[in-house]
Every structure is written in C-alpha cells, then in structure tokens.
Structure 1
Amino acid sequence: MITPNDERSVVALVPAAGRGERLGMSTPKAFVELGGKTLLARAVDGLLASGCVDRVVVIVPAELTAAAAALLPAGVEVVIGGAERTDSVRAGLTAAGDAEFVLVHDAARALTPPQLIESVVRSLRGGRGAVIPALPVVDTVKVVDESGAVTGTPDRAALRAVQTPQGFAAELLRRAYRSESVATDDAALVELAGETVHTVPGDPMAFKITTPLDLALANALVEAGQETSRDVDAVGRGGAA
C-alpha cells in the first residue's frame, strides 16, 4: 500500500471509446460484459482497489455518458471524449486539473491486478517521470517488408510487451500532448518528447481483451475465480498497449 504521507494526487484516466470491431460485438468494447460486469466497470474497480488512485476519470463518447455513469461507482467522473484516442486523453488531462501524477489505463485490460497499479504509482512517487508495465516477449519476432519477406530477427531478450496503466508526471504528459507527434501509445509520445520511460514488471493478468479468444480466456479466468490471481504464467500474454 502506498504511504498516506505523500499528498501528491494521482488521477487515473480511462479512455473508453473503442468500438471493439475485432471483438466482433455490436456493443462498444468497454461496455461488453465479463462475468456479469462490464470491462469498463472491472477496470475502474481495479484502479480503486489499488488504494493509490485519488480520482478516476472515464472518457466516453457523448452518447454513452449516461450509460457509463450508471454502471460506475459514485465519485467516478465521466467526461466526453473525442474522435481519436489522443483527443480523449486530452479531454481527460483537462479534467485531471492540478494532479501531480496521471495514469492512462485501457478499459480492455479489465483484469489488471491492483498490485500492478500500485507498482506503477510507487515508481512515480519514487522519482520516475514516466513508468510503464512490461513483460518479456516469449515469441520470436520477425521484421518483414511489404511483400512479407523476413528482413530481420530482433533479439527478443531486449523486447518487452507493454501494458497499462502507463503512469506519468502530469506536466510531462501534458507537454508530450502539446506536440504534433503521432504515436501508438502515451509512452511513445513521451519518448518522442525526449524523455526517458522506465518499466516495472508487468502481469499476465493485465492482457488486453481485443479478440473473441481474449474474451473467452477472460471469461474462463473469471469463472475459475482467478481474475485476481497472479499465478497465470501459462497465459503468457502481454499485448501492446
């Protein structure tokens, strides 16, 4: 548990506007149910259970604000996002106000253990400006050209699969978002701004629910009562943020 003596506030942003097309559902991905509870609600529950998040801000399309507010605990703020994920994070940063630290967490990583969230925050409070959870890559990775021909094989010992929550000193992330850079995740934006991003050990349970197979795995874990278990090495998944 994070010491209560550190009064620097932590605000968690949860962009939840994804359509979930790869999941094969008509419902927006964050609102898909897993064991009787939506992915969004489970992700928020994990943040609150960590004991180190002062506020949670969920960012959704305008037409889903009422639905999101109805399924989330009292005190969780729901704000309107934009057309792109970056627009939604910007809206979340505005809502975060004068927070010292910001976490950006995928609603699709609904089974992320609270201990992992606490680990990210502990590293931020310890002086890191940007912190991401990461797992070693277990598969061999190939680089291919446009024709599909292999052009290289990176050493997987130096590769990591990135998860969320990604944590930042708030001003650092705001500065990165003021740039015109384009990146696939928030940490990459910070890297492009010239800042160092540090890692903490990830957790297999923080896998991203993107495909029907991912959802089936998550359902199996919930049904087995393992949604908070760390003993899931057989899962072997990290996934890109």
Structure 2
Amino acid sequence: MSDEARQHRTAAVIPAAGRGVRLGPGVPKALRALGGTPMLIHAVRAMAASRAVSLVVVVAPPDGAPGVKNLLNEHALPERTDYLVVPGGETRQESVRLGLDALPDDITTVLVHDAARPLVPVDTVDAVVEAVHGGSPAVVPALPLTDTVKQVEPRQKGEPEPVVATPDRALLRAVQTPQGFDRATLVGAHETVVRGGDGATDCAGMVEQLGTTVMVVTGHEEAFKVTRPLDLVLAEAVLARRRANDGF
C-alpha cells in the first residue's frame, strides 16, 4: 500500500433506500434491472472500480438490509474492495448519516453516490477523489447546461407559470455524483444542518451552509440519473454500447 493510500483511505456511501415512484410501481428503483443486473450492483461496481475506494457502504431500505446483502453476494464484485450493508432511514439525509456512522475510524475521505447513477465512469470517480485528496474539503462532478433555464413563479400543477428571470447558463452547472468530502467536513454538516420534510437531497448543499467552498470537477454525460422510464432506455443503450465496444 502506498503512502498516499495510507494517508487517505476512501469509502463510498450509496443511499439506496428510496422507492423511485417516477419509474412506476414495483421494486425499489435501485433494484430495477439494467442489462439484466440491478442498477444498485452497477453503482456498487462503479465505485469499486476506483482503486482509491477500499470500502463501499450500501444503505438499504430500513427492512431490506438482509435482501440487499444477499444481492451483493450473488453478483461478482471486485475482491480488493470491502462491502457493508446497513439499514437506512426515512429520508436520504438520514440514510447518508447512518452510512457515515458505519464507517471505520481510518476512513478520511467519503464519496456519496446515487444508486440511480449506475454508469458513472471510473475516471469521474477518480477525479473527485483526487480533488479531495488535493485539499478540497468538498467536490462535486458537474456539467455545463445545454438548455436555457427560466426562473418562474410557481403555480398549481399544470397551470402556466410566469417567468421572473433568465439566469446566465454559463454560470450554472448540472451536478452529478459521486460527491466527495473530507470526512470531518461531511460529518460536521450532518451534525449541524437540520432539514425538515424529506431532508436534504444534496450533501454538498449542506456543506455550503457551513460556509465551506465546494469545488466542481468535470462530470460525464454517462453519469446521468435514471429517474424516468426514458432514462432507463438510454441507460440500456449506453450499457449495450459499452459491452459491444469494451466487453464491459
């Protein structure tokens, strides 16, 4: 093990307790099949593909940890990486915190990754890790926006909404995961920032509230989130192309 690896031991936390209602009824979104394999397994493999990641913590539905453990055992995963499954909470924020609580003391860098981003390339994972190891306490991968964005005054669902501003899209980025953090910074955010309702959906946003600068590295178009049925179609196409070109 290199001196760099000893100094910075990295874990990835994957909250996978949500049901993903926008993909329709059925199994939780993270367990939907992609190329015959659950999306969660693809996401776990994507994190473990980085040699910097020595532990992947999957945060399962509160009553689903045994089933998720069995799922991991049924699929081939990189042997150099350790895997841990813990029960999650009612919100994503609570699930991430429970994942953090399960980390060994020697973990210094934490990645938080959406189970619904199954195809993030390893180069993106490595770029986030390297930026944290380089001294940035919080790092997110992101892409420039291609669409013009309008700020509106909200109305009831389905009603026309008046535009109140057109932000300069050159200043905006669409954020992806994994988001990377110095462990102490992320733990501090979870201990300090309290969100009601559904909780925080973005750990970097919690860190921002502490006054900590969040840095952006270049994301990847294949790190998109599989949320709606059309996303699943696109993900199947990307996976089929990878298998054809790379034997993935």
TM-score normalised to the size of structure 1?
0.90
* 2:206 equivalent to 1:199: no
Q: How does 1:112-127 map to 2 (within 5 A)?
A: 112-127=120-135
Q: Does the 8 Å CA contact 1:111/1:228 hold for their aligned counterparts?
A: no
Aligned length: 227
For 1:83, the equivalent position in structure 2 comes to: 90
Cα distance in 1 for partners of 2:230, 2:177 equals 20
* 2:181 equivalent to 1:168: yes
The Cα shift of 1:62 comes to 3.2
The Cα shift of 1:68 comes to 1.1
Structure 1's 227 and 9: CA in aligned 2 closer, same or farther, altered over 3 A? farther
For 1:177, the equivalent position in structure 2 comes to: 190
Cα distance in 2 for partners of 1:14, 1:77 equals 10
For 2:166, the equivalent position in structure 1 comes to: 153
Q: SS in structure 2 opposite 1:128?
A: coil
- Counterpart AA for 1:170: R
Q: Does the 8 Å CA contact 1:181/1:192 hold for their aligned counterparts?
A: no
Over the matched positions of the two proteins, sequence identity in percent amounts to 46
The Cα shift of 1:225 comes to 2.6
Structure 1's 103 and 39: CA in aligned 2 closer, same or farther, altered over 3 A? same
For 1:28, the equivalent position in structure 2 comes to: 28
Q: Does the 8 Å CA contact 1:50/1:118 hold for their aligned counterparts?
A: yes
Structure 1's 122 and 180: CA in aligned 2 closer, same or farther, altered over 3 A? closer
Cα distance in 1 for partners of 2:28, 2:235 equals 17
Q: 1:222 aligns with which of 239, 243, 247?
A: 239
Structure 1's 180 and 123: CA in aligned 2 closer, same or farther, altered over 3 A? closer
Query: Deviation digits for residues 118-171 of structure 1, max 9, x if unmatched?
Result: 110011111110000010011000000024100000000000000000000000
For 2:158, the equivalent position in structure 1 comes to: none
The Cα shift of 1:228 comes to 8.9
The Cα shift of 1:226 comes to 6.1
For 1:128, the equivalent position in structure 2 comes to: 136
- Counterpart AA for 1:103: L
Cα distance in 1 for partners of 2:35, 2:86 equals 26
- Counterpart AA for 1:92: G
- Counterpart AA for 2:180: G
For 1:235, the equivalent position in structure 2 comes to: none
The Cα shift of 1:51 comes to 1.1
The Cα shift of 1:181 comes to 3.5
Output the aligned Cα RMSD. 1.7
Cα distance in 1 for partners of 2:150, 2:116 equals 26
The Cα shift of 1:20 comes to 1.0
Cα distance in 2 for partners of 1:154, 1:223 equals 37
For 2:9, the equivalent position in structure 1 comes to: 9
For 2:207, the equivalent position in structure 1 comes to: 190
Structure 1's 105 and 87: CA in aligned 2 closer, same or farther, altered over 3 A? same
Structure 1 spans left out of the alignment, 5+ residues: 230-241
Structure 2 spans left out of the alignment, 5+ residues: 156-160
Cα distance in 1 for partners of 2:68, 2:13 equals 14
Cα distance in 2 for partners of 1:69, 1:45 equals 15
Cα distance in 1 for partners of 2:67, 2:194 equals 33
Q: SS in structure 1 opposite 2:140?
A: strand
Q: Does the 8 Å CA contact 1:14/1:59 hold for their aligned counterparts?
A: yes
Q: 1:102 aligns with which of 94, 104, 110?
A: 110
